[in-house]
Chains A and B, each alone.
Chain A
Amino acid sequence: MIRHQITLDYALNPGWLGPFVTGLLQGQAIARRCAACAATSFPPVRTCACGSDAGEWVTLPGTATITLRTTGQDGDFALVSFDGATTQSTVKLVDVAADASGGHIIASTGGQPGLCLGARGARNAR
Chain B
Amino acid sequence: MTGAALTRFDRRKDGSGFRDWAKSAFDAALAQSGLTAGDIDALFVASESDFFHFQLNPASILASELGLVGVAATRCEGGGASGQLAVHAALRAVQSGAARHAVVLGVDPSASSLSGDAIRDLYGFSFDGWTDGMTGLTATALYALSYQAFAKRHGTTMDDLAAVTIQNRGNAGGNPNAHLPRSDSAAAIGQSPVIASPYHRLHCSPLSDGAAALILSAPARVPANRNAAPQIIGAGAASDHMHLSHRADPGDFTAKTMAMARACAAAEISPQDIDLAEIYDAYAGAQLQAISALGLSDDLSNDLSRGVFAPEGRCPINLSGGLMGQGAPVGAIGVAQTATCALILEGRYHAALQPRILPRYAVADTHGGVCTTAAVTILAQGGTAG
Contacts and interface: CB of A to CB of B under 8 A. Distances in A.
B245 interface: yes
Contacts of A110: 134-136
Given A17-B130, A43-B131, A88 B136 contact: no
B243 interface: yes
Contacts of A4: 54
Interface in B88-140: 120, 128, 130-132, 134-138, 140
A76 B144 CA distance: 11
B244 A73 contact: no
B137 A89 contact: no
Interface stretch (B194-202, B226-234, B317-325): B194-202
Nearest to B198: A70
Given A43-B131, A79-B250, A92-B135, A71 B245 contact: no
Contacts of A112: 134
A114 B195 contact: no
Interface of A: 1, 4, 12, 14, 17, 21, 24, 41, 43, 45, 49, 68-75, 77-79, 87-92, 108, 110, 112-116
A74 B148 CA distance: 16
A78 B194 CA distance: 16
Given A71-B194, A72-B194, A77 B246 contact: no
Contacts of A115: 131, 134-135
B148 A68 contact: yes
21 contacts: A45-B243, A45-B246, A49-B246, A70-B144, A70-B148, A73-B193, A73-B194, A73-B196, A75-B138, A77-B135, A77-B142, A77-B145, A78-B145, A87-B245, A88-B245, A90-B245, A110-B134, A114-B135, A114-B136, A115-B131, A115-B135
Given A14-B130, A70-B145, A75 B136 contact: yes
Contacts of A73: 193-196
B243 A71 contact: no
Contact of A75 (B141, B244, B250): B141
Nearest to B246: A87
Contacts of A24: 134
Contact of B197 (A17, A72, A108): A72
Contacts of B244: 79, 90
B246 A70 contact: no
A70 B197 CA distance: 5
A77 B130 CA distance: 16
Given A45-B246, A87-B243, A92 B136 contact: yes
Given A88-B245, A88-B250, A90-B244, A70 B141 contact: yes
Nearest to B370: A90
B131 A79 contact: no
Given A70-B198, A74-B120, A77-B135, 19 more contacts: A17-B130, A43-B131, A43-B243, A43-B245, A45-B243, A68-B145, A68-B148, A70-B197, A71-B196, A71-B197, A72-B141, A73-B196, A89-B245, A90-B137, A90-B142, A90-B145, A90-B245, A110-B134, A113-B130
B358 interface: no
B132 A90 contact: yes
Contact of B141 (A12, A21, A43, A77): A77
A57 B296 CA distance: 44
B116 to A, nearest CB: 12
Contacts of A45: 243, 246
A110 B65 CA distance: 43
Interface in B129-180: 130-132, 134-138, 140-142, 144-145, 148-149
A28 B134 CA distance: 16
Contacts of A78: 145
A88 B245 CA distance: 5
Contact of B135 (A72, A79, A88, A90): A90
A114 B250 CA distance: 21
